[in-house]
Structures are given as C-alpha cells and as structure tokens.
C-alpha cells in the first residue's frame, strides 16, 4: 500500500511502539486515527504530528469496548473519508509463574490482547470492505496485528501472555486466508523484547533472556517493521529476522527447542 493520503486506524497509539508507529505513518503522509485509553498523550501526539504538517485525530477509548471501537472507526471515516488500514497494536503483558496466576489479571490480559483485537477488527471490517467497493479509490487494504515472539514460542513464566499472543497469531493466520480473497491483506508482526513501558512494568530479571534472547529493540525499529507490513504486506514479519529460525525449530524439533529456550531464559531474579 502506498501510504500517502491513506487513512489508518492505530490502536495503542499513546505510548511505546504505537507512538513511534504513528510518527512514522504520519511522516509517510498517512492520516492517522490514534486510539488508546489515555487522551492526554494521544492529544500531545496529535499536535506533534500536526505541527509537522501532517494529519491525525485522537480518539480515547478501550479496545475491550465494541462501542469505543465503533466510535474510533466512525471518527476515522468522518474525518478522513474512508478507512484503508488497521493496526492492532494495543496490548498488555503478564509475567507470572503458573501457581501465582490471578484470574482477574489473566482475564484482563486476554480481554485486551485477544478480545480487543477481535472487537476493533470487527468494528473496522465494514469500513475496510466499503473502501474496496469505492470506485476510483485505491482499493488495497491491510490489517497488521502486533503479536510477539512469545506468540510463536512458549517461554516459562510467560504462559498466559504466550496464550494471548498465540491466539493473535491464530486469528491473523485465519483472517489472512478468510479476508485475503476479499482483497484485505493481513500481516502478523512478531517483535522480540522492546524498550517501552511494557517492559518497564515487568520484572526485567525474569522478562529478558540471555545471549540472543537478551536483544532489546527500539520502538522505532518495530515501527519500521509495522509500517513495512502495511506497505508490503507479508504473512509474518519477525524482528529481528533471525528469530524466525528458532520459531521454525520450535515446530520441527520441540525437545531441542525446550533445551535451547531453558538455557536462554535463566531467570536471575527467579524466586525459589
Ligand atoms: N515491549 C515489548 O517487549 C513487546 C514485545 C513484543 C510485543 N509487544 C507488543 O507490542 C504491543 C505494544 O506494546 P508496547 O511495548 O508499545 O507497550 P506500551 O508502551 O505499554 O503501550 C501499550 C499501548 O496499548 C494501549 N492499551 C493498553 N490497554 C488498552 C486498552 N484496554 N484499550 C486501548 N488501548 C490500550 C496503551 O494505551 P493506554 O494505556 O492509554 O490505553 C498503550 O498505548 C503490545 O501488543 C505488546 O504485546 C511488546
């Protein structure tokens, strides 16, 4: 998709990867609808984008709410005339041993990461389909879902987050096959650890692995991959690219992968 002039809805735009993605989309000439719960950071991002001569609107809402998702889509269409793309980026993390699981926290994470992705996509679908039918308009449309390497490879203490991001990977694969023939391309973005508030909120000693599993990406690197997913949609985009090999090994030789993953994640801060 050529991004200039195209209308893109971005969830989780108030911080981290979403904020960096919004700035890059705007620089490419896209008209961005910034969606997250906190209005203040969205408004300051909107004015930063406008001060550089680009277009954005801020819509405060929760991805768990169908009404909020529908409002974000209708605001995007009202202001920019159409919707060409959706980036499902909003998400929260949870790092907890199995025996310390708390129903409420697990349910909240599944609601945001899985149900949020479903609700916003459902809300956006009619507008994306309408765009495909509009005569004279560029008709290519893209949905990019932000999963995680933890959506491809299970890691101790990440089980609930793993479950949520494996679910996002499953949704994406099925939608790619379901919506692709209808002209909507669907891409999965699979980052390793990224230096954002997300990571700051987790127990870093447990959250990060060693060696290659200790790589920490900058939000701007992930933003480039997300924007690349819109420009040239591919089924799966690993960042860094080499992580694809461990994901393949994880499927082809799970016992070997068990040994590698348990070596890479040694949990210096692990409780007994
Ligand atoms: N950081 C990492 O290590 C890492 C690695 C791989 C994948 N990811 C994924 O990348 C995505 C972005 O994460 P990040 O690192 O940029 O985290 P972040 O800095 O914590 O940002 C998360 C964004 O999601 C929004 N959000 C959270 N709950 C929401 C809700 N219920 N409704 C609407 N928006 C909500 C937050 O905004 P509000 O609080 O204003 O709502 C914020 O804008 C997530 O899906 C995450 O799972 C992160």
Residue 2 lies in a domain: no
**Cβ-contact 144, 87 below 8 angstroms:** yes
Residue 16 lies in a domain: yes
Q: State whether residue 239 is helix, strand or coil.
A: strand
The more confident residue out of 10 and 131 is 10
* pLDDT tens digits along 83-141: 999 999 999 999 999 999 899 999 999 999 999 999 999 999 999 999 978 777 778 99
Q: 23 — phi, psi (to 5°)?
A: -65, -40
- Give 271's pLDDT tier (boundaries 50, 70, 90): very low
Return all residues near 123 (Cβ < 8 A) that are at least 6 apart.
66, 69, 70, 72, 73
> Which of 240, 91, 243 has the alpha carbon at shortest distance from 162?
91
> How far apart are alpha carbons 150 and 213 in whole angstroms?
11
Task: Provide the number of structural domains found in the chain.
Answer: 1
Overall average pLDDT of the 217-229 stretch: 98
| H helical segments located in the chain | 16-27, 39-51, 66-80, 103-110, 116-133, 159-179, 197-201, 204-207, 219-231, 243-252, 254-264
* pLDDT tens digits along 25-55: 999 999 999 999 999 999 999 999 999 999 9
**Ligand 1 probe mutation, 11, 14, 16, most atoms within 8 A of CB:** 16
Residue 37 lies in a domain: yes
Overall average pLDDT of the 14-32 stretch: 98
> Which of 228, 272, 264 has the alpha carbon at shortest distance from 243?
264
Residue 170 lies in a domain: yes
> How far apart are alpha carbons 114 and 112 in whole angstroms?
6
Q: Which domain holds residue 76?
A: 7-264
161 counts as catalytic: yes
CATH number, domain of 234, equals: 3.40.50.720
Between the CA of 178 and the centroid of ligand 1 the distance, in Å, is: 26
pLDDT of 267: 60
> How far apart are alpha carbons 88 and 128 in whole angstroms?
14
Q: What's the predicted TM-score (pTM) here?
A: 0.96
Q: For ligand 1, atom 30, which residue shows the shortest CA distance?
A: 62
Residue 16 has pLDDT above 60, yes or no: yes
H or E segment at 143?
strand 141-146
Indicate whether residue 94 lines ligand 1 (CB < 6 A): no
**Cβ-contact 145, 188 below 8 angstroms:** yes
198 Cα nearest atom in ligand 1: 20
Residue 270 lies in a domain: no
> How far apart are alpha carbons 79 and 56 in whole angstroms?
9
pLDDT of 30: 98
Residue 269 has pLDDT above 80, yes or no: no
Residue 60 lies in a domain: yes
Overall average pLDDT of the 56-76 stretch: 98
* pLDDT tens digits along 203-222: 777 788 887 788 899 999 99
Residue 187 has pLDDT above 70, yes or no: yes
Residue 271 lies in a domain: no
Indicate whether residue 59 lines ligand 1 (CB < 6 A): no
11 Cα nearest atom in ligand 1: 34
Indicate whether residue 191 lines ligand 1 (CB < 6 A): yes
Indicate whether residue 18 lines ligand 1 (CB < 6 A): yes
Indicate whether residue 197 lines ligand 1 (CB < 6 A): yes
């Amino acid at each position: 998709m050529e991004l200039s002039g195209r209308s893109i809805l971005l969830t989780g735009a108030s911080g981290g990867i979403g904020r960096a993605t919004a700035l890059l989309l705007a620089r490419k000439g896209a008209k961005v609808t910034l969606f997250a719960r906190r209005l203040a950071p969205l408004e300051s991002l909107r004015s930063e984008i406008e001060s550089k001569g680009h277009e954005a609107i801020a819509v405060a809402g929760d991805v768990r709410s169908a009404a909020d998702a529908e409002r974000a889509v209708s605001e995007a269409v009202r202001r920019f005339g159409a919707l060409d793309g959706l980036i499902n980026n909003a998400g929260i993390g949870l790092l907890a041993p199995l025996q310390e699981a708390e129903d409420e926290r697990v349910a909240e994470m599944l609601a945001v990461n899985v149900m949020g992705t479903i609700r916003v996509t459902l809300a956006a679908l009619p507008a994306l389909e309408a765009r495909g039918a509009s005569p004279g308009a560029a008709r290519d449309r893209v949905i990019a879902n932000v999963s995680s390497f933890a959506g491809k490879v299970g890691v101790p203490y990440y089980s609930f987050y793993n479950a949520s991001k494996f679910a996002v990977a499953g949704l994406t694969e099925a939608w790619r096959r379901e919506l692709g023939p209808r002209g909507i391309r669907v891409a999965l973005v699979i980052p390793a650890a990224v230096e954002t508030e997300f990571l700051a909120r987790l127990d870093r000693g447990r959250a990060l692995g060693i060696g290659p599993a200790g790589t920490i990406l900058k939000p701007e690197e992930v933003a480039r991959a997300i924007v690349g997913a819109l420009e040239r949609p591919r089924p799966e985009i690993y960042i860094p690219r080499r992580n694809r090999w461990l994901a393949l090994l994880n499927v082809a030789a799970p016992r070997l992968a068990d040994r590698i993953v348990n070596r890479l994640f040694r949990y210096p801060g692990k409780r007994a």
